[in-house]
Amino acid sequence: MMGRNELSERLVIANEEKARLEAELILANIELDFQNEEKKKRAAELNLANIELEFQNREKLNRARELIIANRELDFQNEEKGKRAAELIIAGKELLFQNEEKEKRAAELLLANTELVFQNAEKEKRAAELIIANKELLYQNGEKEKRAAELIIANLELIFQNEEKEKRANELIIANKELTYQNGEKEKRAAELIIALKELGYQDEEKAKRAAELIIANRELLIQQQEKTRRAAAEAKKDEFFNMVSHEFKTPLTNIKAINQLLEKTTDRANKHYPFILNAGHSIKRLEKLIADLLDVTKINSGQIDLNIAAFYFPDALTNSIANIQLTANNHEIMLENSADILYAGDQFRIEQVLINLLTNAIKYSPEAGKVLVKAKIESGDLVVTVQDFGIGIAKHEIDQLFQRFYRVSETAMLFQGVGLGLFIASEIVKKHNGRFTITSEPGEGSSFSFTLPLPA
Protein backbone atom coordinates (compact mmCIF):
# COMPACT_ATOMS: atom_id res chain seq x y z
CA MET A 1 0.00 0.00 0.00
CA MET A 2 2.86 2.36 0.82
CA GLY A 3 4.46 1.53 -2.56
CA ARG A 4 1.41 2.72 -4.44
CA ASN A 5 1.23 6.02 -2.57
CA GLU A 6 4.88 6.69 -3.22
CA LEU A 7 4.41 5.83 -6.88
CA SER A 8 1.38 8.15 -7.08
CA GLU A 9 3.36 10.97 -5.49
CA ARG A 10 6.14 10.47 -7.99
CA LEU A 11 3.60 10.49 -10.81
CA VAL A 12 2.07 13.73 -9.54
CA ILE A 13 5.53 15.30 -9.28
CA ALA A 14 6.35 14.15 -12.83
CA ASN A 15 3.08 15.61 -14.10
CA GLU A 16 3.79 18.89 -12.34
CA GLU A 17 7.27 18.93 -13.93
CA LYS A 18 5.69 18.30 -17.34
CA ALA A 19 3.20 21.11 -16.79
CA ARG A 20 6.02 23.45 -15.77
CA LEU A 21 8.06 22.56 -18.89
CA GLU A 22 4.97 22.97 -21.07
CA ALA A 23 4.41 26.44 -19.58
CA GLU A 24 8.04 27.36 -20.28
CA LEU A 25 7.66 26.08 -23.85
CA ILE A 26 4.52 28.21 -24.31
CA LEU A 27 6.43 31.26 -22.98
CA ALA A 28 9.30 30.50 -25.37
CA ASN A 29 6.84 30.26 -28.29
CA ILE A 30 5.24 33.58 -27.26
CA GLU A 31 8.70 35.17 -27.16
CA LEU A 32 9.44 33.70 -30.59
CA ASP A 33 6.15 35.09 -31.98
CA PHE A 34 7.02 38.50 -30.53
CA GLN A 35 10.44 38.38 -32.20
CA ASN A 36 8.83 37.39 -35.51
CA GLU A 37 6.51 40.40 -35.24
CA GLU A 38 9.54 42.59 -34.61
CA LYS A 39 11.18 41.10 -37.70
CA LYS A 40 8.08 41.90 -39.73
CA LYS A 41 8.17 45.50 -38.47
CA ARG A 42 11.84 45.80 -39.41
CA ALA A 43 11.10 44.29 -42.86
CA ALA A 44 8.23 46.78 -43.32
CA GLU A 45 10.55 49.66 -42.35
CA LEU A 46 13.14 48.33 -44.80
CA ASN A 47 10.50 48.18 -47.55
CA LEU A 48 9.55 51.79 -46.80
CA ALA A 49 13.23 52.78 -47.00
CA ASN A 50 13.55 50.96 -50.36
CA ILE A 51 10.43 52.74 -51.68
CA GLU A 52 11.92 56.07 -50.59
CA LEU A 53 15.19 55.14 -52.33
CA GLU A 54 13.33 54.20 -55.55
CA PHE A 55 11.47 57.52 -55.39
CA GLN A 56 14.80 59.34 -55.02
CA ASN A 57 16.19 57.42 -58.01
CA ARG A 58 13.18 58.43 -60.09
CA GLU A 59 13.80 62.00 -59.00
CA LYS A 60 17.41 61.59 -60.18
CA LEU A 61 16.20 60.35 -63.57
CA ASN A 62 13.81 63.29 -63.81
CA ARG A 63 16.65 65.68 -63.00
CA ALA A 64 18.86 63.98 -65.64
CA ARG A 65 16.06 64.27 -68.23
CA GLU A 66 15.57 67.92 -67.33
CA LEU A 67 19.33 68.46 -67.71
CA ILE A 68 19.27 66.82 -71.18
CA ILE A 69 16.32 69.02 -72.20
CA ALA A 70 18.22 72.06 -70.90
CA ASN A 71 21.25 71.05 -73.00
CA ARG A 72 19.12 70.68 -76.13
CA GLU A 73 17.61 74.07 -75.43
CA LEU A 74 21.16 75.38 -75.02
CA ASP A 75 22.10 74.03 -78.48
CA PHE A 76 18.98 75.51 -80.07
CA GLN A 77 19.27 79.03 -78.57
CA ASN A 78 22.77 80.11 -79.55
CA GLU A 79 22.28 83.72 -78.50
CA GLU A 80 21.37 82.67 -74.95
CA LYS A 81 24.20 80.12 -74.57
CA GLY A 82 26.11 82.12 -71.97
CA LYS A 83 23.06 82.53 -69.73
CA ARG A 84 21.99 78.94 -70.19
CA ALA A 85 25.51 77.71 -69.40
CA ALA A 86 25.43 79.69 -66.13
CA GLU A 87 22.02 78.19 -65.32
CA LEU A 88 23.36 74.74 -66.18
CA ILE A 89 26.30 75.21 -63.82
CA ILE A 90 23.85 76.22 -61.07
CA ALA A 91 21.75 73.15 -61.91
CA GLY A 92 24.93 71.05 -61.78
CA LYS A 93 25.71 72.41 -58.30
CA GLU A 94 22.14 71.61 -57.26
CA LEU A 95 22.59 68.10 -58.67
CA LEU A 96 25.82 67.69 -56.69
CA PHE A 97 23.97 68.89 -53.58
CA GLN A 98 21.19 66.38 -54.25
CA ASN A 99 23.79 63.61 -54.77
CA GLU A 100 25.32 64.51 -51.40
CA GLU A 101 21.84 64.28 -49.85
CA LYS A 102 21.36 60.92 -51.58
CA GLU A 103 24.70 59.71 -50.25
CA LYS A 104 23.56 60.74 -46.75
CA ARG A 105 20.33 58.79 -47.27
CA ALA A 106 22.33 55.79 -48.51
CA ALA A 107 24.55 56.02 -45.40
CA GLU A 108 21.43 56.09 -43.19
CA LEU A 109 20.08 53.08 -45.07
CA LEU A 110 23.36 51.23 -44.53
CA LEU A 111 23.10 52.00 -40.79
CA ALA A 112 19.54 50.67 -40.80
CA ASN A 113 20.71 47.53 -42.61
CA THR A 114 23.52 47.12 -40.07
CA GLU A 115 20.92 47.35 -37.30
CA LEU A 116 18.80 44.76 -39.11
CA VAL A 117 21.79 42.42 -39.44
CA PHE A 118 22.45 42.86 -35.71
CA GLN A 119 18.82 42.05 -34.91
CA ASN A 120 18.98 38.98 -37.15
CA ALA A 121 22.08 37.86 -35.27
CA GLU A 122 20.19 38.28 -32.00
CA LYS A 123 17.31 36.30 -33.44
CA GLU A 124 19.72 33.56 -34.47
CA LYS A 125 21.03 33.46 -30.89
CA ARG A 126 17.48 33.18 -29.58
CA ALA A 127 16.74 30.45 -32.14
CA ALA A 128 19.91 28.61 -31.06
CA GLU A 129 18.83 28.89 -27.43
CA LEU A 130 15.39 27.62 -28.42
CA ILE A 131 16.94 24.65 -30.22
CA ILE A 132 18.99 23.84 -27.11
CA ALA A 133 15.82 24.12 -25.01
CA ASN A 134 14.04 21.84 -27.47
CA LYS A 135 16.87 19.31 -27.27
CA GLU A 136 16.65 19.48 -23.49
CA LEU A 137 12.91 19.04 -23.73
CA LEU A 138 13.36 16.06 -26.04
CA TYR A 139 15.79 14.58 -23.57
CA GLN A 140 13.35 15.15 -20.74
CA ASN A 141 10.59 13.67 -22.83
CA GLY A 142 12.73 10.60 -23.31
CA GLU A 143 13.15 10.42 -19.56
CA LYS A 144 9.45 10.91 -19.18
CA GLU A 145 8.82 8.10 -21.64
CA LYS A 146 11.01 5.85 -19.52
CA ARG A 147 9.09 6.90 -16.45
CA ALA A 148 5.82 6.37 -18.31
CA ALA A 149 7.00 2.89 -19.41
CA GLU A 150 7.60 2.04 -15.77
CA LEU A 151 4.05 3.29 -14.93
CA ILE A 152 2.21 1.62 -17.86
CA ILE A 153 0.83 -1.10 -15.64
CA ALA A 154 -0.12 1.45 -13.00
CA ASN A 155 -1.80 4.11 -15.10
CA LEU A 156 -3.08 3.52 -18.66
CA GLU A 157 -4.57 7.00 -18.76
CA LEU A 158 -1.20 8.50 -18.05
CA ILE A 159 0.26 6.55 -21.01
CA PHE A 160 -2.46 7.95 -23.27
CA GLN A 161 -1.70 11.48 -22.11
CA ASN A 162 2.03 10.97 -22.68
CA GLU A 163 1.33 9.79 -26.23
CA GLU A 164 -0.66 13.00 -26.84
CA LYS A 165 2.21 15.05 -25.43
CA GLU A 166 4.62 13.27 -27.76
CA LYS A 167 2.43 14.20 -30.73
CA ARG A 168 2.47 17.82 -29.60
CA ALA A 169 6.25 17.69 -29.18
CA ASN A 170 6.66 16.28 -32.69
CA GLU A 171 4.46 19.06 -34.07
CA LEU A 172 6.62 21.58 -32.18
CA ILE A 173 9.79 20.08 -33.71
CA ILE A 174 8.28 20.39 -37.19
CA ALA A 175 7.27 23.99 -36.43
CA ASN A 176 10.80 24.75 -35.22
CA LYS A 177 12.29 23.27 -38.40
CA GLU A 178 9.93 25.41 -40.48
CA LEU A 179 10.96 28.48 -38.45
CA THR A 180 14.63 27.63 -39.01
CA TYR A 181 14.00 27.37 -42.77
CA GLN A 182 12.19 30.72 -42.79
CA ASN A 183 15.08 32.36 -40.93
CA GLY A 184 17.47 30.97 -43.56
CA GLU A 185 15.32 32.48 -46.31
CA LYS A 186 15.30 35.83 -44.48
CA GLU A 187 19.09 35.74 -44.25
CA LYS A 188 19.29 35.12 -48.00
CA ARG A 189 16.96 38.09 -48.64
CA ALA A 190 19.06 40.29 -46.36
CA ALA A 191 22.23 39.27 -48.23
CA GLU A 192 20.54 40.01 -51.57
CA LEU A 193 19.43 43.41 -50.24
CA ILE A 194 22.98 44.25 -49.17
CA ILE A 195 24.25 43.34 -52.66
CA ALA A 196 21.50 45.49 -54.22
CA LEU A 197 22.47 48.41 -51.98
CA LYS A 198 26.11 48.07 -52.99
CA GLU A 199 25.04 48.04 -56.66
CA LEU A 200 22.90 51.12 -56.04
CA GLY A 201 25.85 52.88 -54.46
CA TYR A 202 27.99 52.00 -57.47
CA GLN A 203 25.29 53.34 -59.80
CA ASP A 204 25.13 56.58 -57.80
CA GLU A 205 28.90 56.94 -58.15
CA GLU A 206 28.59 56.39 -61.92
CA LYS A 207 25.81 58.99 -62.11
CA ALA A 208 27.95 61.47 -60.21
CA LYS A 209 30.82 60.81 -62.63
CA ARG A 210 28.49 61.30 -65.62
CA ALA A 211 27.17 64.55 -64.14
CA ALA A 212 30.74 65.78 -63.62
CA GLU A 213 31.63 64.82 -67.20
CA LEU A 214 28.53 66.65 -68.45
CA ILE A 215 29.50 69.80 -66.55
CA ILE A 216 33.01 69.60 -68.01
CA ALA A 217 31.57 69.08 -71.51
CA ASN A 218 29.29 72.08 -71.06
CA ARG A 219 32.19 74.22 -69.94
CA GLU A 220 34.17 73.03 -72.95
CA LEU A 221 31.20 73.90 -75.18
CA LEU A 222 31.00 77.35 -73.62
CA ILE A 223 34.73 77.86 -74.19
CA GLN A 224 34.36 76.74 -77.81
CA GLN A 225 31.44 79.10 -78.35
CA GLN A 226 33.44 81.95 -76.85
CA GLU A 227 36.35 81.03 -79.11
CA LYS A 228 34.03 80.97 -82.14
CA THR A 229 32.62 84.35 -81.17
CA ARG A 230 36.12 85.73 -80.73
CA ARG A 231 37.23 84.34 -84.09
CA ALA A 232 34.09 85.66 -85.79
CA ALA A 233 34.79 89.09 -84.31
CA ALA A 234 38.42 88.87 -85.46
CA GLU A 235 37.30 87.84 -88.97
CA ALA A 236 34.83 90.73 -89.04
CA LYS A 237 37.57 93.16 -88.02
CA LYS A 238 39.89 91.63 -90.61
CA ASP A 239 37.23 92.01 -93.33
CA GLU A 240 36.56 95.57 -92.19
CA PHE A 241 40.30 96.29 -92.39
CA PHE A 242 40.56 94.72 -95.88
CA ASN A 243 37.55 96.71 -97.04
CA MET A 244 38.97 99.96 -95.67
CA VAL A 245 42.44 99.31 -97.08
CA SER A 246 41.02 98.33 -100.47
CA HIS A 247 38.95 101.50 -100.72
CA GLU A 248 41.85 103.63 -99.52
CA PHE A 249 44.14 102.06 -102.16
CA LYS A 250 41.72 102.44 -105.06
CA THR A 251 41.87 106.23 -105.44
CA PRO A 252 45.68 106.68 -105.32
CA LEU A 253 46.12 103.57 -107.48
CA THR A 254 43.76 105.05 -110.08
CA ASN A 255 45.88 108.21 -110.14
CA ILE A 256 49.07 106.18 -110.49
CA LYS A 257 47.51 104.15 -113.29
CA ALA A 258 46.47 107.29 -115.15
CA ILE A 259 49.97 108.78 -114.81
CA ASN A 260 51.59 105.53 -115.94
CA GLN A 261 49.26 105.29 -118.97
CA LEU A 262 50.13 108.86 -119.87
CA LEU A 263 53.84 108.08 -119.58
CA GLU A 264 53.38 104.93 -121.70
CA LYS A 265 51.69 106.95 -124.47
CA THR A 266 54.15 109.86 -124.44
CA THR A 267 57.38 107.90 -124.03
CA ASP A 268 59.22 106.68 -127.10
CA ARG A 269 59.41 102.88 -127.26
CA ALA A 270 63.14 103.20 -127.95
CA ASN A 271 63.63 105.07 -124.67
CA LYS A 272 65.51 103.03 -122.09
CA HIS A 273 62.85 103.88 -119.49
CA TYR A 274 59.99 102.45 -121.56
CA PRO A 275 60.38 98.81 -120.26
CA PHE A 276 60.19 100.09 -116.68
CA ILE A 277 56.98 101.92 -117.50
CA LEU A 278 55.50 98.71 -118.96
CA ASN A 279 56.61 96.76 -115.88
CA ALA A 280 54.96 99.38 -113.65
CA GLY A 281 51.76 98.97 -115.67
CA HIS A 282 51.80 95.20 -115.04
CA SER A 283 52.37 95.81 -111.32
CA ILE A 284 49.44 98.26 -111.25
CA LYS A 285 47.19 95.61 -112.85
CA ARG A 286 48.25 93.06 -110.21
CA LEU A 287 47.43 95.57 -107.47
CA GLU A 288 44.06 96.26 -109.06
CA LYS A 289 43.38 92.53 -109.17
CA LEU A 290 44.40 92.13 -105.52
CA ILE A 291 42.19 95.05 -104.42
CA ALA A 292 39.25 93.68 -106.41
CA ASP A 293 39.76 90.24 -104.79
CA LEU A 294 39.89 91.74 -101.30
CA LEU A 295 36.68 93.68 -101.94
CA ASP A 296 34.99 90.52 -103.25
CA VAL A 297 36.11 88.55 -100.17
CA THR A 298 34.66 91.15 -97.80
CA LYS A 299 31.40 91.17 -99.78
CA ILE A 300 31.22 87.36 -99.69
CA ASN A 301 31.86 87.21 -95.94
CA SER A 302 29.24 89.88 -95.23
CA GLY A 303 26.73 88.28 -97.63
CA GLN A 304 26.62 91.41 -99.80
CA ILE A 305 27.77 89.86 -103.06
CA ASP A 306 24.81 89.97 -105.44
CA LEU A 307 24.35 88.38 -108.83
CA ASN A 308 22.94 90.16 -111.86
CA ILE A 309 21.05 87.24 -113.33
CA ALA A 310 20.32 87.50 -117.03
CA ALA A 311 20.30 85.13 -120.00
CA PHE A 312 23.52 85.27 -122.07
CA TYR A 313 25.15 83.24 -124.81
CA PHE A 314 27.55 81.01 -122.86
CA PRO A 315 30.20 80.62 -125.61
CA ASP A 316 30.65 84.42 -125.44
CA ALA A 317 31.76 84.12 -121.81
CA LEU A 318 34.28 81.45 -122.80
CA THR A 319 35.76 83.41 -125.73
CA ASN A 320 35.85 86.69 -123.76
CA SER A 321 37.72 85.08 -120.84
CA ILE A 322 40.17 83.28 -123.14
CA ALA A 323 40.85 86.45 -125.16
CA ASN A 324 41.39 88.46 -121.97
CA ILE A 325 44.06 86.08 -120.68
CA GLN A 326 45.63 85.22 -124.05
CA LEU A 327 46.74 88.87 -124.46
CA THR A 328 49.19 88.48 -121.57
CA ALA A 329 49.99 84.75 -121.96
CA ASN A 330 52.83 84.93 -124.49
CA ASN A 331 54.17 81.43 -123.79
CA HIS A 332 50.88 79.52 -123.71
CA GLU A 333 48.16 78.75 -126.20
CA ILE A 334 44.68 78.57 -124.69
CA MET A 335 42.68 76.08 -126.76
CA LEU A 336 38.89 75.92 -126.66
CA GLU A 337 38.23 72.29 -127.58
CA ASN A 338 34.42 72.43 -127.48
CA SER A 339 31.80 74.93 -126.37
CA ALA A 340 28.24 74.40 -125.11
CA ASP A 341 26.04 76.26 -127.59
CA ILE A 342 23.33 77.38 -125.16
CA LEU A 343 21.79 80.40 -123.48
CA TYR A 344 22.53 80.35 -119.77
CA ALA A 345 20.72 82.41 -117.09
CA GLY A 346 23.37 83.72 -114.72
CA ASP A 347 25.76 86.58 -113.97
CA GLN A 348 28.01 86.71 -117.04
CA PHE A 349 30.55 89.03 -115.42
CA ARG A 350 30.97 86.70 -112.41
CA ILE A 351 31.13 83.55 -114.59
CA GLU A 352 33.88 85.21 -116.65
CA GLN A 353 35.63 86.11 -113.38
CA VAL A 354 35.65 82.40 -112.45
CA LEU A 355 37.04 81.43 -115.86
CA ILE A 356 39.72 84.14 -115.73
CA ASN A 357 40.82 82.94 -112.27
CA LEU A 358 41.07 79.34 -113.47
CA LEU A 359 42.95 80.30 -116.65
CA THR A 360 45.34 82.57 -114.73
CA ASN A 361 46.15 79.74 -112.30
CA ALA A 362 46.54 77.23 -115.14
CA ILE A 363 49.14 79.45 -116.86
CA LYS A 364 50.89 80.40 -113.62
CA TYR A 365 51.35 76.81 -112.41
CA SER A 366 52.38 75.32 -115.80
CA PRO A 367 55.41 77.52 -116.72
CA GLU A 368 57.04 74.78 -118.81
CA ALA A 369 53.89 73.75 -120.71
CA GLY A 370 52.80 75.36 -123.93
CA LYS A 371 49.04 74.97 -123.84
CA VAL A 372 45.90 75.09 -121.68
CA LEU A 373 42.70 73.28 -122.66
CA VAL A 374 39.17 74.61 -122.10
CA LYS A 375 36.11 72.37 -122.50
CA ALA A 376 32.39 72.98 -122.01
CA LYS A 377 29.67 70.39 -122.38
CA ILE A 378 26.17 69.49 -121.25
CA GLU A 379 26.10 66.35 -119.15
CA SER A 380 23.09 64.85 -117.31
CA GLY A 381 21.21 68.16 -117.44
CA ASP A 382 24.19 70.19 -116.11
CA LEU A 383 26.66 72.55 -117.77
CA VAL A 384 30.21 71.31 -117.07
CA VAL A 385 33.23 73.57 -117.77
CA THR A 386 36.80 72.25 -117.42
CA VAL A 387 40.16 74.06 -117.52
CA GLN A 388 43.08 71.65 -117.87
CA ASP A 389 46.78 72.46 -117.55
CA PHE A 390 49.92 70.33 -117.89
CA GLY A 391 51.94 71.83 -115.08
CA ILE A 392 53.27 70.96 -111.65
CA GLY A 393 50.04 69.39 -110.32
CA ILE A 394 48.74 69.25 -106.75
CA ALA A 395 49.21 66.64 -104.02
CA LYS A 396 46.00 64.87 -102.95
CA HIS A 397 46.20 66.04 -99.34
CA GLU A 398 46.25 69.67 -100.53
CA ILE A 399 43.19 69.50 -102.84
CA ASP A 400 40.49 69.71 -100.14
CA GLN A 401 41.99 72.94 -98.76
CA LEU A 402 42.43 74.85 -102.03
CA PHE A 403 39.13 76.75 -101.68
CA GLN A 404 39.96 78.20 -98.26
CA ARG A 405 40.73 81.88 -97.90
CA PHE A 406 44.43 82.78 -98.21
CA TYR A 407 45.40 79.11 -98.58
CA ARG A 408 48.39 78.36 -100.77
CA VAL A 409 50.08 75.04 -101.49
CA SER A 410 53.09 74.90 -99.17
CA GLU A 411 55.50 73.41 -101.72
CA THR A 412 54.92 76.18 -104.29
CA ALA A 413 54.02 79.20 -102.14
CA MET A 414 57.54 80.69 -102.38
CA LEU A 415 57.87 80.08 -106.13
CA PHE A 416 54.69 81.72 -107.43
CA GLN A 417 53.05 85.06 -106.63
CA GLY A 418 49.57 85.26 -105.13
CA VAL A 419 47.64 85.56 -101.88
CA GLY A 420 45.30 82.57 -102.18
CA LEU A 421 41.99 84.35 -102.84
CA GLY A 422 41.22 83.49 -106.49
CA LEU A 423 39.89 79.95 -105.96
CA PHE A 424 37.99 80.98 -102.82
CA ILE A 425 36.16 83.72 -104.75
CA ALA A 426 35.57 81.42 -107.73
CA SER A 427 34.06 78.70 -105.52
CA GLU A 428 31.75 81.19 -103.80
CA ILE A 429 30.53 82.54 -107.15
CA VAL A 430 29.83 78.99 -108.36
CA LYS A 431 27.97 78.23 -105.11
CA LYS A 432 25.86 81.36 -105.67
CA HIS A 433 24.84 79.78 -108.99
CA ASN A 434 23.97 76.52 -107.10
CA GLY A 435 26.98 74.84 -108.72
CA ARG A 436 29.96 72.86 -107.44
CA PHE A 437 33.69 72.40 -108.09
CA THR A 438 35.69 69.22 -108.70
CA ILE A 439 39.47 68.89 -109.04
CA THR A 440 41.58 66.05 -110.40
CA SER A 441 45.36 66.35 -110.29
CA GLU A 442 48.58 64.35 -110.40
CA PRO A 443 51.86 65.88 -109.23
CA GLY A 444 54.13 66.50 -112.23
CA GLU A 445 51.37 65.84 -114.79
CA GLY A 446 48.93 68.74 -114.37
CA SER A 447 45.48 69.55 -113.01
CA SER A 448 41.88 69.77 -114.22
CA PHE A 449 39.53 72.27 -112.54
CA SER A 450 35.86 71.70 -113.37
CA PHE A 451 32.75 73.55 -112.24
CA THR A 452 29.22 72.32 -112.80
CA LEU A 453 26.23 74.66 -113.21
CA PRO A 454 22.70 73.20 -113.04
CA LEU A 455 20.41 73.89 -116.02
CA PRO A 456 16.66 74.38 -115.69
CA ALA A 457 14.66 71.22 -116.32
pLDDT at position 301, please? 63
Closest Cα partner for 392 from 418, 372, 420, 362? Answer: 362
- List, in order of start, the domains of the chain with CATH numbers: 2-234 (no CATH), 307-454 (3.30.565.10)
Residue range 203-247, pLDDT digits in tens: 878 887 887 888 887 788 888 887 777 766 656 566 555 555 555
pLDDT at position 352, please? 93
Mean pLDDT of all residues in 262-276: 81
The helix or strand, by DSSP H or E, that contains position 386, with its residue range, turns out to be: strand 382-388
pTM for this model (two decimals): 0.43
Distance (Å, rounded) from C-alpha 196 to C-alpha 200? 6
pLDDT at position 110, please? 79
Distance (Å, rounded) from C-alpha 359 to C-alpha 367? 13
Distance (Å, rounded) from C-alpha 242 to C-alpha 236? 10
Residue range 36-86, pLDDT digits in tens: 888 899 888 888 988 888 898 888 888 878 888 877 876 787 777 777 767
pLDDT at position 415, please? 45
Contact 346, 309 (CB under 8 A): yes
pLDDT at position 222, please? 80
Instruction: Kindly indicate the confidence band of residue 344, based on its pLDDT and cuts at 50, 70 and 90.
Output: very high
Q: What is the mean pLDDT of the chain?
A: 80
Residue 107 has pLDDT above 80, yes or no: no
Helices (H), 77-155: 81-150
Instruction: Kindly indicate the confidence band of residue 413, based on its pLDDT and cuts at 50, 70 and 90.
Output: very low
Contact 401, 410 (CB under 8 A): no
